[in-house]
Structure 1
Amino acid sequence: MRVSVADDVAALLEFALICHAQTRVAIATLIEVRGGAARVLGSHVVVAADGRYAGYLSGGCVEAAVAFEALLAIEAGKDRVVTFGDGSPFFDIILPCGGGITVAIHILREPDEIVQVLTCLEQRRTTALKLSVEKQALTVTAPPATTGWIGHWFHILYRPRIRIVISGQTVEARSVAKLARGCGYDVVFISGQDVIANLTELIDQYTAVLLLHHDMDQEQPALQAALRSKPFYIGALGSSRTHERRLEALRKAGFRDEDLTHIRAPIGLFGPTRDSTSLALSVLAEVAATRLAGFK
């Protein structure tokens, strides 16, 4: 029985801890993709012994079968590897994309490793687990460059949730914040000199800074702080003409042209937009595209 449609990794690992406190639980992990697939390597489905499950390894077409295999593993008390789609013995389970996947099912015996991962994510630090079905082991390890096989161990990289820092009290800012929260991003509004002075404490490589002002002078303190802190995305509202004036002001403040190339302006993946909802879609699409390009 699916109990959640969420695919946020922290939420899934928290679900695993809750289930482990109540009953036996298994974590199914996508360890191989053949052809096309809807999910990335390292995706999880968490399955409790009472039949509850959450997470995705595909677009929703094999999760019930994965849950069934996980229940068999729990009953047998032994980890297992199962294939679906292309190359699988299950001829009646076909992935719509035409590809195939391999899934490792690990019975969670001790929750400490999951607790450590969640603690790191809460502290906005990258972390990783390594999995061996042969050894029936799941342990915390140093973060690899990317999720995948290293020797006989499958390494799963976990990154903190994307944080959206918004400067501005406009209708556009409110629309972006509403949509960003719906997408599962952490959203922080900043205003006032004291908050802006501490902006560097909020920004890391998993942060996007959005300057949604209609007055260029109001955005300058936050924009300058963002440029010094190097988030993965900086976007600013305004026309191309406004952006030229923005760049000139930043040059006078001592910023180099190399620094200024990090600003996306006019903000958004498509435009121009004439309403706040369209702008929000455009902005978050650009944030997501930038994130995917940088964190592959």
Structure 2
Amino acid sequence: MLNIADTLYRWYGERRPFALATIVGVQGSAPLPLGTSLAVDADGNVVGSISGGCVEGAVYDLCQRLLEDGGPAQRARFGYSDEDAFAVGLTCGGELDVLVLRIDPAAHPHFADALAAVVDGRPIAVAQVVDGPEDLLGRMLYVDADEATHHGDFPGALSRQLTVQAQALLYAGRTALVELGGDAMTCPERLSVLVHVHASRPRMLIFGAVDFAAALSQAGRFLGYRVTVCDARSVFATRARFPHADEVVVDWPHRYLRRTPLDARTAVCVLTHDPKFDIPVLREALALPVGYVGAMGSRRTHDHRMELLREAGVSDEQLVRLRSPIGLDLGARSPEETAISVVAEILASRTQTTGLPLSDLTGPIHAVLRPLNLEDSHMSLSQRMAQS
């Protein structure tokens, strides 16, 4: 739903009721991810998409009926029909579960706060019950990044558990389904909750103000990263040389890494080729809970670097995390080709996929994200960031 927050926020300001249809389940291939929404107002205006066109007409009709009838939230499933080529369904062969509910701004005042946070670019999570008892279906709870604000019409124990789950996913920057309830403490019945996450841009930290860094900063920004280029040499680390970076920092890489905010989505790319820079910053990076650590260099450079890192006290368990030589085997030679190789490896690492050609694989082309490890979810976002 947060993909159309700007329009929904405007409709809220105009006190305009609307029906909201959201993807709450995906089986097989589907064109759009969990949490993507389409909305229809009472005048028939529509914003967003949930299928790229395959089932939009049927969902639009559901939204209009719900606006007219004012009934409870409804779930619908759309899939491909082999028996009837003209049936409503997904031509890609997958299935979508869609939740449709009527939103009245007067009855859901706190939803405006969540929408305003997205419009302002502030991190927020919206936990929405998408399967469970009818009286809870569609209910939402909103949590901000500092846990200073959370709103939702839920019993205390359930509200606290929802807040913890939403905080964990907000920290990871992931929209995901979570299962909870089924006990006397929270809710007797099992609930399926979709946590919509609007997080700040993930960070890409590039150490080494070289030509490869210029190309990588452009590729990283294109993919939505907030890119920082850092080098201790002021003559090389200039804004003119890195126009696509969000910031250019003159500092020793390891010292900057110690003091800058980062999280599990952060990608650290070390391109300096110089042990006096490489070893201290890699020692720091490999001890931090960042998502990706890669270092540029030849096989010979890599072997020597590993020896130096072991001498510096880096454990074998930490060294396993190091992607070196950096990037996928794409035959890259130029800085631009190398940048594609590096961001391809970062994407494959983030999605836990193979990086192999799709034509050599079988099964769905859109991988299902693995469940997030929430064993430390009792910590607040600010605590996690402090540990980072």
* TM > 0.5 fold call: yes
SS, match of residue 229 in structure 2: strand
Residue matched to 1:5: none
Structure 1 residues 27-106: aligned runs within 5 Å: 27-40=20-33, 42-49=34-41, 51-54=45-48, 56-63=49-56, 65-78=58-71, 79-86=73-80, 92-106=87-101
Structure 1 residues 175-186: aligned runs within 5 Å: 175-186=215-226
Structure 1 residues 68-217: aligned runs within 5 Å: 68-78=61-71, 79-86=73-80, 92-109=87-104, 110=108, 112-113=110-111, 115-116=113-114, 127-132=125-130, 134-135=134-135, 136-140=138-142, 141-142=162-163, 143=165, 146-150=176-180, 151=189, 153-158=191-196, 160=199, 161-191=201-231, 192-193=250-251, 196-200=254-258, 201-217=260-276
Residue matched to 1:17: 9
The unaligned stretches of length 5 or more in structure 2 are: 143-161, 170-175, 181-188, 232-249, 354-368, 371-388
The offset of 1:217, in angstroms, is 3.0
The offset of 1:176, in angstroms, is 1.7
The offset of 1:289, in angstroms, is 1.2
Report the identity percentage: 27
Residue matched to 1:259: 318
Residue matched to 1:224: 283
Q: Which whole-Å CA distance do the structure 2 matches of 1:220 and 1:64 have between them?
A: 57
Q: Which whole-Å CA distance do the structure 1 matches of 2:297 and 2:194 have between them?
A: 40
Q: Which whole-Å CA distance do the structure 1 matches of 2:298 and 2:57 have between them?
A: 49
The unaligned stretches of length 5 or more in structure 1 are: 1-8
Q: Which whole-Å CA distance do the structure 2 matches of 1:246 and 1:118 have between them?
A: 48
Normalised to the residue count of structure 1, the TM-score between the two structures is 0.79
The offset of 1:268, in angstroms, is 0.9
1:187-226 deviations in Å (ceiling 9; x for gaps)? 2333333674242432211211111224343333332321
| Equivalent position to 2:348, from 286, 289, 293 | 289
1:154-198 deviations in Å (ceiling 9; x for gaps)? 312345443222222222212222122222223233333367424
1:240-259 deviations in Å (ceiling 9; x for gaps)? 11111211222222212221
Deviates more, 1:229-238 or 1:176-185: 176-185
> Which amino acid in structure 2 is aligned with residue 93 of structure 1?
V
Residue matched to 1:270: 329
The offset of 1:271, in angstroms, is 3.9
Give the RMSD, CA atoms, in angstroms. Answer: 3.5
Contact 1:19/1:48 (<8 A) preserved: no
Contact 2:267/2:291 (<8 A) preserved: yes
Normalised to the residue count of structure 2, the TM-score between the two structures is 0.62
The offset of 1:116, in angstroms, is 4.8
Alpha-carbon distance change, 158 to 213 in structure 1, aligned in 2, over 3 angstroms: farther
Q: Which whole-Å CA distance do the structure 2 matches of 1:185 and 1:74 have between them?
A: 39
Contact 1:85/1:99 (<8 A) preserved: yes
SS, match of residue 247 in structure 1: helix
Contact 1:190/1:196 (<8 A) preserved: no
Deviates more, 1:237-246 or 1:167-176: 167-176
Alpha-carbon distance change, 286 to 60 in structure 1, aligned in 2, over 3 angstroms: farther
The offset of 1:111, in angstroms, is 5.3
Count of matched residue pairs = 285
Whichever structure has more helix as a proportion of its residues is 1
The offset of 1:72, in angstroms, is 3.7
The offset of 1:104, in angstroms, is 0.2
